[in-house]
Structure 1
């Protein structure tokens, strides 16, 4: 069935459809959990069905979404006719016949196009918050349990991996972004294809940490190969110690994840050089350096000196730790890493996570640091991340 565009914003319609599908499933799972109609797995309600709704095909082929929207419109019209039949006795029979005909001839697309196999943990959410400590813990586990088959870069081109009857999946491709974290968790715990189950060797908490590392490592491999993050990667959550100017004493402690809706800049301290000052357009954090003293004016007030933080940043950026000093990273209001600067003036060319259109239209260079940052922020705000994971959009990371 071909549906003309007719001036319809199909991207917006598909986005609303996917949001409704995901909300419907999550709502159903919450209701089942409240009624004790489903069991808990590792403290979260299990999805009790073999299939789940998925928008993955619709994100590739808009005609599937159009067909599904048309079928839903037919069904809604049939329900409306049934409601009218209840209220209008004189026309009840014709209205019911018309509604029945609509239901009978509704052009539903093949269910395989908008459903996908589900695991009991398909809707599980990682409890780690994609923290730096979880990423580094996951790195150790990956080295112990996974590197022999999957390799350091995750591509699986190792002697052991190539000798297996079923080749290991390429973890540096889009696999970890296409599948939900809950599906990956289930495969890790219970095995899939040629991969054995790790439930008896890796704890639940360590499994989530391993997933965090695999995503961080894939981002680092991607940026090392192409010079940009090929897929969105989140700013790792870290602990912060923040001093208030004019208020001496012990710094206040918080976490980066508490800065909802704020642009964030991470600055790796460089020995012998003064770090940049605070910027009113964003929140700044100094890594591997001391936070501003109480009487400092304009200096960065929040710091993190944990070793895991630098290691996690090195993994995500594909940069050796000894090359990090002087590096600055910029995250948008939704917590996605968007830009990197290795020293010098900011420019739109520093934005490394953007759409093709933004890449082509970004231009290059900037007259000064302030102007460059203004242009970068404008380009970043004009090109928000639309991240599809498990067949559904994820707009907000923190």
Structure 2
């Protein structure tokens, strides 16, 4: 009899580890043992559990899982021993045996350096507005070293002691958002204490630092090669206006439905409505089409920043964006990117996680390319761990 798939118990373990760490942080903060950093409770220790390592090292993850089970047995044995005196010796011996037999993982592998903001989250939603603000901040402060495309080949890169890392790879996925935030404001140093990235705390506010992280996520997707994105992206928040009604936040309007974003210009034919998903038109100025024929999609992103954000995510120049489509699943993850004049197919998937990552499967008999794509999105939900934290 085989055990559960690795992702099942591994996801449960990662969720438990994150919950334990966040619970410990909340307790420390409630007891007044740690203060605030940038408006949120500060992680008081210099180390945290390396969830990102557990994700790729199943041996270490099993060791930690079994050790946690042994600790639970020892705690239960002590609790029973306090209540059952006649068997106290046996119970305490059983608890001690569990601790001795536990495969204690290596401390050097289990923990990684942490920052006071490691467990911080952005106070603003990932949105077209934060992406637009982040684009301006990035162009002013980051592009000279990291390059306009995020590949680390800016005009100043060659003059640096350490070549800037590329944002098109898995770098962003390996670091928690709170730690990226810390490094943006506090800078980075190598193991010898020499600065490798300047600190921007005197030039950027907290909101600008969070915004540039949002833009880097979009840039990572747009700069990546064809295929699986290095960092899964949520559907960015935006205001949507339908048939002259007042704008409504996309997150409230979609109601857990799939969403299709379609970039259209004055020369584009409006797409047909499709009951399989909600369609949002993205225009360069945020204005709805003058006339919407019957059965055509008419709901429009009300923000002019939506065009720029979709261009960054899809990796297209804004002038060539018309006709590009993005599909989001029911959980709000962007999963597929369509190009003008080409039918949907399995090759359009840009976000595949779990055991199916990097694989193709035979299409369902009788299903067209788009239907097969939607069925696969439903069957293979995103399992994403960023910086060791489950999303």
Shorter-normalised TM-score: what interval?
0.7 to 0.9
Q: How much does 1:138 deviate?
A: 1.3
Post-superposition Cα deviations, 1:26-70, rounded to whole Å, max 9, x if no partner, equal: 223233334444322222221122222221221111111111122
Q: What are structure 1's unaligned runs of at least 5 residues?
A: 244-249
Whether 2:302 is the aligned partner of 1:300: answer no
Deviation per residue, 1:62-118 (Å, 9 max, x gap)? 111111122122222222332332333233223323423433453311123222211
Which whole-Å CA distance do the structure 2 matches of 1:191 and 1:179 have between them? 15
The answer to whether the 8 Å contact 1:136/1:312 transfers is yes
Structure-1 residue corresponding to 2:231:
231
**What stretches of structure 2 of length at least 5 have no aligned partner?**
190-195
CA distance in 2: counterparts of 1:40 and 1:183, whole angstroms:
15
List per-residue Cα deviations over 1:308-329 (Å, max 9, x = no partner). Answer: 1111111111111121112221
Contact 1:358 1:379 in 2 (8 A): no
Please tell me the root mean square deviation across aligned C-alpha atoms, in Å: 2.7
**TM-score under structure 2 length normalisation:** 0.88
Q: Which moved more, 1:56-65 or 1:251-260?
A: 251-260
Q: CA 1:27/1:63 → structure 2, altered by over 3 Å: closer, same or farther? A: same
CA contact (8 A) 1:349 1:364 kept: no
Query: How many Å apart are 1:332 and its aligned residue?
Result: 0.8
What CA deviation, in whole Å up to 9, does each residue of 1:193-212 have, x standing for no partner? 21111000111111111111
Q: Following superposition of structure 1 onto structure 2, how do residues 15-26 of structure 1 map, counting pairs within 5 Å?
A: 15-26=11-22
Q: Is the 8 A contact 1:348 1:363 kept in 2?
A: no
Task: Report the Cα distance in structure 2 between the residues aligned to 1:318 and 1:100, rounded to whole angstroms.
Answer: 57
- Relative contact order, higher structure (CA 8 A, sep 6+): 2
Aligned-residue offset at 1:271: 2.5
Q: Give the Å deviation of 1:291.
A: 4.4
Q: 1:108 to 1:260 in 2, by over 3 A?
A: farther
TM-score by length of 1: 0.87
1:297 Cα offset (Å): 4.4
2:268 & 2:158 partners in 1: Cα distance?
A: 48
Question: Does structure 1 retain, via aligned residues, the 8 Å contact 2:128–2:306?
Answer: yes
Deviation at 1:165, TM superposition (A): 1.9
Mean CA deviation greater in 8-17 or 325-334 = 8-17
Question: 1:190–1:196: 8 Å Cα contact kept in structure 2?
Answer: yes
